[in-house]
Amino acid sequence: MKYVNGIPWPRLPTDVSIDIPLREEYLLCQMDYLDTPEASIIFETQCDIIQKHNYKGIVDVGCRHGPVNDILHKRKYTDYNYMGFDTSSDPIDYAKETWKDHSNIEYRVSSWNDLDNIQVDFEVDCIIWSGVLLYVGDAHMELFKKIHDFYRANGAIIQEPCYLQPDKKWLDNLELNTIEDELYLYGKKYFKYEDVVVDADIFAGRRRIANITLYDTKN
C-alpha cells in the first residue's frame, strides 16, 4: 500500500491528471485502503443506520466483499438476510468463501442492468449504495428509483465522497467523481432524509452518508 503523509492511498501515479472511471473488473487488493482501520468509520456508520431501523433484508449494490457483514456480526446483529452484488469477480469470490457457512448471506457477480440475476427470495427493506451512483452521472436518481421499485425497498443508505477534502489528504492531480452536491435532491423527493459526514484517513476520506426513508408507510 502506498502512503502519502502517513495516510493509506490507492496506487495512483502523481505525474498526470487522474480521473477514476467505473471499472467492472478489479482486484480486491486494488481497493484495500477501504479495509484499513482508518476506513472502518465509513462502514460502522452504515451499520449504525441498519441497526437503528432494524433492517432485516439488505441488498448491497457494488458491494465488493460486503464489509458491513463483518461489523454487524461483531456487534451480534445476525438475524438478517443479505445479498450483495458486484461486477468484479475477485472480491465476490473472496466474499463467497468467507461467508460460505452463512445461509442468510449471499454474493453474486452481476450488475444493476441484469434484473433477472439480482432477484432475491426475501423482503428487502434497505439498499446500500456505497459510492456507485456517481458512475451513472445525471441518471443517478432514475437508477435509484428503478432499483428501489424493483425490490420495493423503503430504506436506503447512500455513501458518497465529499467534494471538499482536507488538503493534506488530497492529491492535486486527482479529479474526484461524486454526486455529493446533489444528495439534497433525495431529501426534496423522498419522505425522510438525514445525513452525516465522516472523516476517514484514506483516499477521498471525507464521506457523506445519507439515511433515506422513501415513503411514509404509516399513512
* Domain residue limits, the chain: 2-17+25-213
Class of domain 2-17+25-213 as given by CATH: alpha beta
- Average pLDDT (169-174) is 72
Q: Higher-confidence residue: 41 or 204? A: 41
CA count, 13 A, side-chain hemisphere, 211: 15
* pLDDT at residue 17, as a whole number: 57
* pLDDT at residue 5, as a whole number: 66
* pLDDT at residue 167, as a whole number: 78
* pLDDT at residue 166, as a whole number: 84
Question: What are 63-72's pLDDT values in tens digits?
Answer: 999 999 999 9
Question: How far is Cα 35 from Cα 85, in angstroms, rounded to an integer?
Answer: 18
| pLDDT for 113 beyond 90 | yes
* pLDDT at residue 6, as a whole number: 67
Question: Of 130, 135, 162, nearest to 47 (Cα)?
Answer: 130
Residue with cell 467505473: 22
Complete DSSP assignment for 161-199: E-S---GGG--TTEEPP--GGGTHHHHHHSSEEEEEEEE
* pLDDT at residue 202, as a whole number: 87
161, β-bridge pairs:
207
Tell me which H or E stretch contains 213.
strand 206-213
Q: How far is CA 91 from CA 42, 55, 64, 184, in A?
A: 18, 24, 5, 31
| pLDDT for 21 beyond 60 | no
Q: Positive or negative CA dihedral for 145, 147, 149, 153? A: negative
3-state secondary structure of 106: strand
* pLDDT at residue 175, as a whole number: 75
3-state secondary structure of 19: strand
| pLDDT for 219 beyond 90 | no
* pLDDT at residue 45, as a whole number: 98
- β-pairing verdict for 126-130 and 57-61: parallel
Question: How far is Cα 91 from Cα 76, in angstroms, rounded to an integer?
Answer: 24
Could you tell me the pLDDT band of residue 138, with boundaries at 50, 70 and 90?
Answer: very high
Question: What are 24-61's pLDDT values in tens digits?
Answer: 666 677 788 899 999 999 999 999 999 999 999 999 99
| pLDDT for 186 beyond 70 | yes
